[in-house]
Chain A
Amino acid sequence: MPKHSLLALLMAGAVFAPAAAIAQAVPIGNPVAGAELYQYECAACHQIGEDAEHRIGPHLNRIFDRRAGSHAEFRYSEALARQGRDGLHWDFVRLDAYIENPRSLVSGTNMAYPGLEDPVERADLIAFIRAFSDQPQNIPEAAPTAFAPEVRLPPEVLAIEGDPEYGAFLSAECTTCHQRSGAHAGIPGIVGWPEEDFVVAMHAYKKRLRPHEVMQNLAQRLDDEEIAALAAYFAKLGRD
């Protein structure tokens, strides 16, 4: 994601979400403002919502996660169709780029739209469009509905070291798969490891050096202190 738009998103989130002690998921944007923008910027060419049909542009229902140029009944430019064949799928980042400047993403597109400069407006618009695509409660793999909070806990809290009580709480997320008994079958045992090995392994998932997506996804939102707390907890579990 271009840096400036991420910043804008975070700002948009700060305006939109109520102030909270705990970092919340950052909304994509404000869908109510987005609805208004849609009427003004897109509705002349694109229908969306129940019974939407192709007009000058294709309808935009279920556009998230869709391969670009993939409505068989719509006549796309060769340029957009080719991007689709190359594997372009619509997600937040691609939609954002296309709406900002259609030709930057698809040089020969025949979407005659000059582009929307303001990143906050684009985020609001995309938040509105997101609601007409698949929802994760029905299709878990569907595009995310928000962004992960940048900081989960205040910095003072992050200064705590290897907190065993917090480790115990965090470990509950792990024991759905890794048994407390340390059993090693199908999923490796993680009980009683030297803390350092544990920490190194978790960071390797976090950095995506180790390939497994289940663990990458889980490690991604653990910070250093949380990993330390988990390492301490599981090491102790092995000694008890």
Chain B
Amino acid sequence: MATATAPATDTHHDAHDPHATNTGISNNKLAMWLFLSTECLLFGALISTYLIYKTRGSGEVLPTDLFDIPFTSVSSFVLLMSSLTMVLALSAFGRNDLDRGKAWLLVTAMLGAVFMGGQAYEFTAFYEEGLGYTTNPAASAFYTLTGFHGAHVSIGIIMLMSLWVAANQGKLTGKNSETVEIVGLYWHFVDLVWIFIFTVIYLIPPE
């Protein structure tokens, strides 16, 4: 452990303390948090772009004309609950309860997939109503923002499934539950972004 009192010759002490860093946080976890904080500026730019353009339709249909709040509420709810199952997976791995951990991972990935299905449905429905990607600035901004979020969810699903496979191969056990925690951080962050998008993009009605 890195303290000022460490004797000079013994750099090996406490090497088995998983938190032998200056901050007491593992490199991986700190890196993930830093990465997530930079993602705020990424999503912020996309959200701002949409807010600036949301009424710019040059006479064509706007995303706000097509929002189906009850439908989006359901898929938002699904994503929110996937955060619960994610944290339950972590908690199970923490107890070395591998079967439950694997099951919750799978459930989380499936809830994510349901959310993505919802997005696919929404995009198709909007497209059929005449809102293409190139229709107007509002449409481009809407699809880019939600598409980016969807891409993040998809990457999350891939990571969850990789964890699930690793757990089945016995490579992921209670001892390295921090990997689950780090993927979980990413997953919760993606949920967090959606909490924001749901309010700011969907629920606040046009004046």
Q: Do A and B make up one complex? A: no
